[in-house]
Structure 1
Amino acid sequence: MNKKIFTLSFMTVLLSSACSTMTPARYSISVDNNLELKKYGGSKIQLSALNATGSFDANCRLMGPIQASDGMTIPEFVRKAFNDEFKFAEVYGDSGVKLSGNLTKVAFSSSAALTNGWWEFALELESSNGKSMTVETHYDFKSGFDAITACNQTAQALGPAVQDLIKKAVTQPEFAALVK
């Protein structure tokens, strides 16, 4: 009888600890990015396509995958974030400069130095005017010790990490050449 109770208890614990998907909040506009993009007033910009050629391991510890909000992939999340920033700065438009991009690196850690984490991105942008640029970012954050906290913190850090990526892209001098 003890063996049956142990087995039943073990199976209950095992099934209740199955992996779950960690999802961040929706992207929110950055004031700094908005101020920078306002400099391009009169321009019409759109990130029309964004692919990912680098491999991306979405699994966070043994908790499960990190997935962008609203069921989007990471490239879809980043593309929507760029376009949301363009819209808020009133520089978004269907007619005008079309940007396309390629995420060559998407990576994260939820256990750097045990309780810290980071997101890294490498992005290539190409304009319909023939100009191109690349940008790489490394965004650090506090994750936590236990897997549940660390993976949730990693998911929640996606938005600020993408804000950082956009800021680095739009503040580079090469960005101005893309949108002319």
Structure 2
Amino acid sequence: MSDMNLPAQYFRAGVGAVIVNDAGLVLALERADIPAAWQMPQGGLEADEEPLRAVFREVAEETAIPAHDLQLMQASPELLVYELPPAARRVKTGRGQVQYWFFFRFHGSDQAIDVLRGGEFRCWHWMAFESLLDAAADFRKPVYRRLIEQFRHLPMPGAEGPACTHSS
């Protein structure tokens, strides 16, 4: 579906990934076009693409994390929706996204994470879910709050890592 041109009144089908390390911190990506705007890996579904396949593709495209470094812990029991501010709507994005979300445990090496190659992100950081909620764009916050509620029972203790890690 990401190749379709959507009128601004339509929502695009998408996927998102909550990726947590062994310390219980969430992988957050800082947007290159909006400094200090952090988000989790996400993106649109391609035509006829299964959501789980799409989320592995999006994570690999945005972070270089291969599927074998991710352990699926849980899928969101519901579709979650965010609406873009009117000024941010484009032909590709439409009005926002209706998303399938997945919670993963990360078992790879931090050194393998590369967010620079796609140009969408400036750096990455492991942070507490609540800190990511504070650092996210306002239109993403309702979805992130709902994800915190849905995945609250899964272990996520820990202290935050370095402020910002640039990929090599």
TM superposition score category, shorter chain reference: under 0.3
Higher relative contact order (CA 8 A, sep 6+): 2
Of Structure 1 and Structure 2, the greater helix share is in 1
TM score, norm. by length of structure 1: 0.24
TM score, norm. by length of structure 2: 0.25
- Which structure has the bigger radius of gyration? 1
